[in-house]
Amino acid sequence: MDTRFTGVIPPVVTPFKDGEIDFESVDKVVDFLIDNGMNGLFVGGSSGEVAYLTDAQRDAVAERVIKHTAGRVPVLVGVIETTSARVIEQAKRAEALGADAIVATCPFYAINDMAEIEDHFRAIAAATSLPLFAYDVPVRLNGTKLAAEMLVKLGTEGVVTGIKDSSGDDVAFRRLVQLNDKAGHPLVLLTGHECVVDGMLLGGGDGVVPGYGNVEPRAYADMWAAAQAKDWDEVRRIQDGINEGFEIVFVPQGRSGDARGIGAFKTAMEAQGTIATNEMAYPVKALEGETKEGVVAIARSRGLV
């Protein structure tokens, strides 16, 4: 297992201001996250609104984060594209920018089976010298769930370094953990289920990629430390607290999935002063009015504002 990529690695949000990427806020987010104990940064993930960014914007954000991080922690870069050939183009650019690892999903828009998906990851790995993380996020990808056996096989062969599991299927994650252990633990297994990290760490997870980590990084860092110390009651206590803050994503009503989740994170971060505005990428409108107030009220009750 590549231990550089264990622990808490939040998917960094992309701050906007007047419709443009706000690089000053990017720097502040990076410092905020590293200063609060994050073990790595994941740029270009769903929470980073990667799907909304042009290639130039993706590159600019990755470059800025990598530069400002300056080696303090590893930076993973999402290379989110529909199929192998297109992912490889993204991967090569990420490598040139100095990424420490890349994160790719299975193909989307395309309709492939598991054998084709396996070949997809092989082609990406062959095209770059960077560690490759497979990103399992069926809710965005037509329901496609990566097969545990395939992932462990790719891990054993050195094709894939780790998994970011945002599948919502903890039973499958648990099984992946055990298959991985039996194979000698080649894969770094990171859960994206930020509200059940306690159980996932108890069960053998190697870390977490929490979107809400943008808001409360310190709590995740503390949870990770408690887990390392096997103080599970403390782990659970911290998770409970995090989940109270995570309720911000349930405040927005009648809005899209991205507006609710990322919108709530950004709104709390704006209130915390980490980013200048809670703007979202077009065409998603920022939270405002009572919704915004509701989010901030929860953040305040957690002592974050």
26 touching a second copy, by CB under 8 A: no
List 126, 158, 175, 273, residue binding a second copy (CB under 8 A): 175
d(CA 228, CA 226): 5
Least distance to a second copy, CB of residue 201, Å? 9
d(CA 138, CA 105): 10
Q: Is 209 annotated as a binding residue?
A: yes
> Phi and psi of 16, rounded to 5°?
-120, 155
Nearer to a second copy, 54 or 129 (CB): 54
Element (H, E) at 135: strand 132-136
Residues pairing with 163 in the sheet: 134, 189
Q: Decide: helix, strand or coil at residue 105.
A: strand
Element (H, E) at 35: helix 23-35
- Report whether the peptide linkage leading into residue 283 is cis, meaning its omega lies within 30 degrees of zero: yes
Instruction: Single out the segment in contact with a second copy by CB under 8 A; choices: 22-30, 65-73, 170-178, 269-277.
Output: 170-178
Binding mask 66-85 for a second copy (x = CB under 8 A): --------------x-xxxx
Instruction: Single out the segment in contact with a second copy by CB under 8 A; choices: 28-36, 64-72, 93-101, 166-174.
Output: 166-174
d(CA 172, CA 165): 10
253 touching a second copy, by CB under 8 A: no
Which residues fall within 8 angstroms of residue 202, CB to CB, at 6 or more apart?
A: 227, 232, 235
Q: Which two tokens stand for residue 162?
A: 């780790």
Nearer to a second copy, 73 or 124 (CB): 124
Instruction: Single out the segment in contact with a second copy by CB under 8 A; choices: 10-18, 107-115, 216-224, 264-272.
Output: 107-115
Q: Choosing from 164, 220, 266, 292, which is the catalytic residue?
A: 164
Using CA atoms in the order 174, 104, 192, 29, what is the torsion angle rounded to 10 degrees?
150
List 18, 71, 109, 303, residue binding a second copy (CB under 8 A): 109
Least distance to a second copy, CB of residue 62, Å? 16
- Is residue 41 a contact partner of residue 290, using CB atoms and an 8 Å limit? no
Q: Choosing from 28, 135, 212, 292, which is the catalytic residue?
A: 135
d(CA 123, CA 117): 10
Q: Which of residues 200-239 bind a second copy (CB under 8 A)?
A: 200, 202-204, 230, 232-233, 235-236, 239
284 touching a second copy, by CB under 8 A: yes
135 is catalytic: yes
Q: Decide: helix, strand or coil at residue 7.
A: strand
Residues pairing with 76 in the sheet: 42, 101
Nearer to a second copy, 50 or 73 (CB): 50
230 is catalytic: no
- Please compute, for residue 139, the number of CA atoms within 13 A of its CA located in the half-sphere on the CB side: 10
256 touching a second copy, by CB under 8 A: yes
294 touching a second copy, by CB under 8 A: no
Catalytic residue list: 135, 164
Binding annotation for pyruvate: 209
User: Which residues would be at the binding site for a second copy (CB under 8 A)?
Assistant: 46, 49-55, 57, 80, 82-86, 89, 107-113, 116-117, 119-120, 123, 139-143, 168-171, 174-175, 178, 193, 195-196, 198-200, 202-204, 230, 232-233, 235-236, 239-240, 243-244, 255-259, 281-285
